[in-house]
Amino acid sequence: MLLKVKAKSQISENEITDEHVYLERRSLIKKMGFLGAGSLLASTTSAQARGLDFFSSKEEQAFVTSPIKFKASSSDSQVLTPENKVISHNNFYEFGTKKSDPVNNAQSFKVNPWQLKVSGEVNKPFTLDYDDLFSRYAIEERIYRLRCVEAWSMVIPWLGFSLSNIIKQADPTSKAKYVAFETLHDPEQMPGQRSRRVGGGIDYPYVEGLRLDEAMNPLTLMSVGLYGKTLPPQNGAPIRLVVPWKYGFKSIKSVVGIKLVEKMPPTTWNILAPREYGFYANVNPDVDHPRWSQASERRITSGGLFARNRIETLPFNGYGEEVSSLYKNMNLRKYY
């Protein structure tokens, strides 16, 4: 069932300045009268590494209609970050700490078979396999801003479904207060997990968490694709979390575990550097990182790496209307 949300953050596709090719493809698909997926979700590793096209030419394979578009920001016009930047400028320490390491080191990463286990304080635990990720829930397109704690940002057209779909299916018990996430632990495939030096000093597997009400918010997305294609491995294939009002490190990649728990779960960056990275990680331009300002960000566009595309950072990354009520009466300087 498709999510129906009316808010200032909702947007139609023509309000976003897309890449030329992307616009042409979307226009063609609209003329055909449907969006499709499934037939091109091949099982070969090489195909997945490239990121296959979600859109099919066979109408009987279409299962998504009228995807919701969420505005990247409520205050300024947005330009999609070019696809080649999105898939080549990545933080995924399992494949190395340099921005170019993931795209260089992840292309042989195998995503099929895959299992995503949903467990914990639930009445109906279950496991999703690779095919379930693309067929169990209706896929929507969401155009979101992604703001990194390192003060750079992108605008990305994601494909996925609300995390709330998974949580509702699991039927949480009254003890469920938080949602804990875990990344695949596979040192043979992930060089950063074989060496603390290569992997940034992290104790793997990577773990993250949300409060249950944050996880249930309509904006919280489990993404299986971007730019009309399945996720490339460097972007978190085959499934990742996207929480657009939080710093990017909360959006855990290559998820294999979702566990509902009673107490606040540990999170990787808070374990590694608690003074710098809190549990909540809400985008707050008034709270600086101990080593740099968070008041502005460098928007990654079609320009070069050092292009001067500096813009003001917005509270909650521009999604305050949808999420600020979650933190009413909380001290967001203390709970950073």
Candidate from 4-18, 122-136, 237-251, 262-276 with smallest mean pLDDT: 4-18
Contact present, 322 and 217 (Cβ < 8 Å): yes
Which CATH number goes with the domain that contains 119?
3.90.420.10
Candidate from 36-40, 147-151, 265-269 with smallest mean pLDDT: 36-40
Give the percent of the chain with pLDDT over 70: 76
More confident residue, 309 or 136: 136
Could you tell me the maximum CA-CA distance found in the chain, to the nearest angstrom?
54
Res 50: pLDDT: 40
Residue span of the structural domain in which 106 resides: 13-327
Find residue 118's DSSP bridge partners: 126, 258
**Average pLDDT over every residue of 176-185:** 98
Tell me what percent of the chain is helix, strand and coil, each rounded to the nearest 5: 25, 25, 50
Which burial class, exposed, middle or buried, applies to 19 when counting CB atoms under 10 A from its CB (0-12, 13-18, 19+)? middle
No. of helices (H) and no. of strands (E), the chain: 9, 14
End-to-end alpha-carbon separation of the chain, Å?
34
Mapped onto helix, strand or coil, the DSSP state of residue 27 is: helix
Please check whether residue 336 lies inside any domain of the structure: no
The Cα 7–Cα 82 span in angstroms is 26
- Tell me: the pLDDT tens digits for 28-85? 444 433 333 332 232 233 333 344 566 443 332 333 333 444 544 444 457 999 999 9
182 DSSP 8-state letter: E
More confident residue, 330 or 34: 330
Please check whether residue 209 lies inside any domain of the structure: yes
Res 309: pLDDT: 86
Q: CA angle, 207 as apex, 202 and 209 as ends, to 5°?
A: 140
pTM as predicted: 0.85
Taking the CA of residue 139 as centre, how many other CA atoms within 13 Å lie in the half-sphere pointing to its CB?
Answer: 28
- The single-letter code of the amino acid at 53 is D
Contact present, 260 and 120 (Cβ < 8 Å): yes
Domain count, the chain: 1
Residue with tokens 């999510």: 3
Please check whether residue 173 lies inside any domain of the structure: yes
Grade residue 218 by pLDDT with cuts at 50, 70 and 90.
very high
Residue 226 has pLDDT above 70, yes or no: yes
Res 76: pLDDT: 44
Please check whether residue 5 lies inside any domain of the structure: no
Grade residue 21 by pLDDT with cuts at 50, 70 and 90.
low
Residue 110 has pLDDT above 60, yes or no: yes
Query: Which residues neighbour 14 within 8 Å (Cβ) at sequence distance 6 or greater?
Result: none
Res 187: pLDDT: 97
The mean predicted confidence, pLDDT, of the chain is 84
